[in-house]
Structure 1
Amino acid sequence: MKNVDQFNGMKVLVLGLAKSGFAASKLLHSAGAHVTVNDASPDEGNEEAAALRLEGIQVICGGHPSGILDEGFDLVVKNPGIPYSNLVVAEALKKKIPVWTEIELTSRISEAPIIAITGSNGKTTTTTLLYHMLNIGGKHPLIAGNIGTVSCAVAEEATRDNIIVLEASSFQLMGTETFRPSIAIWTNLYDAHLDYHGSSEAYALAKSAISSNQTPEDYFIYNDDQPELRNYALRSDAKKVPFSLTGMKTHGISADDEQIYWNGEPYVNRSVIKLPGLHNLENILAATAAAILSGCDKTAIENVLSSFTGVRHRMQFVKELKGRKFYNDSKATNTLATKSALAAFNVPTILLAGGLDRGQSFEELRPYMANSKAVVVLGETAEKFATFAESCGIQKIIRADNVTDAVQKAYPLTESGDIILLSPACASWDQYPSFEARGDQFIEAVMQL
């Protein structure tokens, strides 16, 4: 850990607890800052607040008191999920108090180089693929960020011998000033989180912060098949490393139907890849480029490509039973993700779909429904999805009470060679506390078969 003296004596307000606020509070307190934590949740039962008080940190729970910024704070570190419309955040910006997220702390204290990954889709798969490549390649990686491990806590323990592989959301990247990864990856750009950012342009600008502080010593890996990302790449001072699925390119990493190419030379045959789907091939290209630039040998990269079958709940291969393959894509909480999942298979598929009704249309899926021999619908959008499936010409449409019921009703519809795919195209909150809980029930139901 380096540069911690910069926080000594500072007055810092940590806004929001959860994992990131808890870790940031402890780090800043240990670095000599005068930390006040403000969390909107009640004091009763707040174990994180109690633990911080034991360390001598002031914690205010139960809401955001008016005038809390009158104490003269030098810095606000906010939970990424707290919007900038929050009254305390808005007031801090008005007073010109810096507002960070904890990945800015990570960048300032880490002795280890950082590889940061962002994108509308594919962040977690790319992060996990790269972590495994670096691990097998002997690079001592540490995984962090939006994937579930608070990055500033990881950075506290990291040394120069490590590499931090950090998944970064647009929420996190908005709260940065000097954040500078040695390698940045931007997988793709589609409209998302517009309720938070307010516009497509603001969302894209937040994502672009991943490379805004890079220098010619750094690398920026980006999706060259998206014109919008090519335009953002032009603004970066880093060495550009494009990836593309449109055939062999002389620069960067690319793929055709048979090969992956590195700077125009055949690198690895696609036949070794286990992970299905063109969207996952994009993730593979991005992770492979970063692994090569980090000094991984080809053997380590091939080892991962030939064994990695997916991140849990993200096009995760679960099991093959009597010739039927089951895939858990519970993370597909929108039509874009389900579209990619359906496009990954060119065999008869039984699709399990439906969930929280946000008023969205499923029309975007229509060109990808051709291989769906049956659809099992569930959740709030069950009837809406059933109507859509019927309009696509699908004859077998089954209603299910929940994911377990859906698996039990789907299996009798199948033959050897079929795919049973949970890819809901909807959030889970109508029936489950999270997409993870929904996916776990799917896995359990498959195992019960």
Structure 2
Amino acid sequence: MKEAPQLYQKKILVLGLAKSGFTAARILHKLGAFVTVNDSKPFEENPEAQELLNMGVTVICGRHPEDLLEEGFELVVKNPGIPYTNVLIESAFEKNIPVWTEIELAYLISEAPFIGITGSNGKTTTTTLLFHMLNQDNKHPLIAGNIGTVASGVAEKAKAKNVIVTELSSFQLKGTAAFRPEIAIITNLYEAHLDYHGSIEDYRASKMKLTENQTTEDYFIYNADQPLLVEHAKDCKAQLVPFTLKGRTTTSISADNEFVYWQGEKLIERSKIILAGQHNLENILAATAATLLSGGTKETIIRVLTSFTGVKHRSQFIVEWEGRKFYNDSKATNALATKSALEAFPENIILLAGGLERNHSLEEIRPYMDRVKALITFGETAQRFTAFAEDCGVPIIVQARKMDDAVEKAIKQSDSGDTILLSPACASWDQYDSFEIRGDAFITAVQHMTEANE
């Protein structure tokens, strides 16, 4: 870990604990800062706060005193989930106190370079795929960020031989200042998180901070099929690496209906890639370009692309049984995500969908419902999905109770050559505590049903 003399004996407020706040507070204390932690959870229910107090960190729990910033803090490090409308954050800006997320701290202390990945969709798949490619090529990658591992904790242990492959949300990027990845990837940009950012302009500006400090020594990999990103690339100082699905190019990475190309040369036949879908092909192009720019080999990339089955709960291939392929896309909690999943399979889909009723429109998926051979629906939205599927002309519509019932009914309606796809287009909270639990229930049910019928 690098020393950070600019933080030594600085009075720093860490706002919000959880994993990122606890790690940041511990590292700042280790660096010699005067750290105060403020968290809403009561002290007696807060083991992280108790541990920090034992280290000598000042802890204020159970409330957020509005006059806290009168104590002369020089920096605030906030949990990414805390909105910028928070009274203490607004007060910090009024007093010209910098507000960071722990991503900035990670950058300051890291001996290893960063590869930063962001976008509205595809961040986790791209990050995981890139990590696998670099790992199999012995490039000593470490994985961090929004994918579940606190970046500053990873940076604390990283060495110069490593590279930190970091998934970054707009929440995290908004709180950066000097952060500079050697390779930056933006998979795509759509409208999202407006309740947090307040406007689409702020959301986009937060995402674009990924490239803000890059220089001509760095690389910016971006989706050239999105005019917004093409426009942004004009202002970027890094070397530009566009990717496109619209046909072969000779200067970067591209794909057509048959092949993936690197600088115009055939890299891999698309039919050999396990990860399905146009949206995943974008992720593949981004991860492949980053691997090649990091010194990875084409042989390793091909090996990974012909074996990688996807990130759990994100169009994850589960098993092939009696000619039927099962996919877990439980992370699809809205119609746009389910649209991307349906695009991946041209016909004969047995779709499992439904969940929490939030009155979201289903119209995004209407153009792809002719690919659905049967709909198995469940949860609060079952009746609405039934009416929607009837209007779309889906020939078979069945309502189920929970996941084991849904999988059993899906198998009964399927034939060899069909795809059985869980892509709910709804949140899980009517029946399951998280999309992960819902996806695990699907996997378990598939395993039980296929093993019982062998």
> TM-score, normalized by length of structure 2?
0.97
Shift in Å at residue 243 of structure 1? Answer: 0.2
Equivalent residue, structure 1, for 2:25: 25
Amino acid at match of 1:87: V
Q: Structure 1 residue 72 and structure 2 residue 75: aligned?
A: no
Please give the alpha-carbon distance, in whole angstroms, between the structure 2 residues aligned to 1:166 and 1:290: 13
Please give the alpha-carbon distance, in whole angstroms, between the structure 2 residues aligned to 1:80 and 1:6: 22
Shift in Å at residue 237 of structure 1? Answer: 0.6
- Could you report, residue by residue, the CA deviation over 1:46-84 in whole angstroms, capped at 9, with x for unpaired residues? 221121112111221212112011111111111111110
- Contact 1:135-1:141 at 8 Å conserved across structures: yes
Please give the alpha-carbon distance, in whole angstroms, between the structure 2 residues aligned to 1:357 and 1:100: 36
Please give the alpha-carbon distance, in whole angstroms, between the structure 2 residues aligned to 1:208 and 1:188: 11
Percentage of matched positions with identical amino acids: 63
Shift in Å at residue 266 of structure 1? Answer: 2.1
- Of residues 50-59 and 25-34 in structure 1, the stretch that sits farther from structure 2 once superposed is 50-59
- Of residues 291-300 and 383-392 in structure 1, the stretch that sits farther from structure 2 once superposed is 383-392
Please give the alpha-carbon distance, in whole angstroms, between the structure 2 residues aligned to 1:99 and 1:431: 38
Q: Structure 1 residue 53 and structure 2 residue 49: aligned?
A: no
- Contact 2:354-2:425 at 8 Å conserved across structures: yes
Gaps of 5+ in 2: 450-454
- Contact 1:100-1:176 at 8 Å conserved across structures: yes
Gaps of 5+ in 1: none
Q: Structure 1 residue 295 and structure 2 residue 267: aligned?
A: no
Please give the alpha-carbon distance, in whole angstroms, between the structure 2 residues aligned to 1:334 and 1:220: 29
Amino acid at match of 1:294: S
Q: Structure 1 residue 286 and structure 2 residue 298: aligned?
A: no
Equivalent residue, structure 1, for 2:151: 151
RMSD, aligned α-carbons? 1.1
- Could you report, residue by residue, the CA deviation over 1:110-149 in whole angstroms, capped at 9, with x for unpaired residues? 1111000001110000001100110011100000000000
Please give the alpha-carbon distance, in whole angstroms, between the structure 1 residues aligned to 2:54 and 2:167: 31
Please give the alpha-carbon distance, in whole angstroms, between the structure 2 residues aligned to 1:59 and 1:116: 32
- Contact 1:347-1:417 at 8 Å conserved across structures: no
Equivalent residue, structure 2, for 1:420: 420
Q: Structure 1 residue 317 and structure 2 residue 327: aligned?
A: no
Equivalent residue, structure 1, for 2:182: 182
- Of residues 260-269 and 420-429 in structure 1, the stretch that sits farther from structure 2 once superposed is 260-269
Equivalent residue, structure 2, for 1:127: 127
Equivalent residue, structure 2, for 1:169: 169
Q: SS of the counterpart of 1:243?
A: strand
Please give the alpha-carbon distance, in whole angstroms, between the structure 2 residues aligned to 1:136 and 1:275: 18
Please give the alpha-carbon distance, in whole angstroms, between the structure 2 residues aligned to 1:60 and 1:411: 55
Please give the alpha-carbon distance, in whole angstroms, between the structure 2 residues aligned to 1:64 and 1:359: 34
Shift in Å at residue 359 of structure 1? Answer: 2.1
Amino acid at match of 1:197: H
Amino acid at match of 1:37: V
Please give the alpha-carbon distance, in whole angstroms, between the structure 2 residues aligned to 1:78 and 1:379: 37
Equivalent residue, structure 2, for 1:246: 246
Please give the alpha-carbon distance, in whole angstroms, between the structure 1 residues aligned to 2:344 and 2:305: 16
How many aligned positions are there?
449
Q: SS of the counterpart of 2:232?
A: helix
Please give the alpha-carbon distance, in whole angstroms, between the structure 1 residues aligned to 2:337 and 2:133: 25
- Could you report, residue by residue, the CA deviation over 1:185-208 in whole angstroms, capped at 9, with x for unpaired residues? 000011111111112222111110
Please give the alpha-carbon distance, in whole angstroms, between the structure 1 residues aligned to 2:4 and 2:400: 55
Amino acid at match of 2:384: K
Please give the alpha-carbon distance, in whole angstroms, between the structure 2 residues aligned to 1:144 and 1:65: 32
Equivalent residue, structure 2, for 1:275: 275
- Contact 1:111-1:158 at 8 Å conserved across structures: yes
Equivalent residue, structure 2, for 1:304: 304
- Could you report, residue by residue, the CA deviation over 1:132-182 in whole angstroms, capped at 9, with x for unpaired residues? 110011100000000000000000000110000000000000001111000
> TM-score, normalized by length of structure 1?
0.98
- Contact 2:3-2:31 at 8 Å conserved across structures: no
Q: SS of the counterpart of 1:326?
A: strand
Equivalent residue, structure 1, for 2:368: 368
Please give the alpha-carbon distance, in whole angstroms, between the structure 2 residues aligned to 1:400 and 1:203: 38
Equivalent residue, structure 2, for 1:194: 194
Q: Structure 1 residue 8 and structure 2 residue 8: aligned?
A: yes
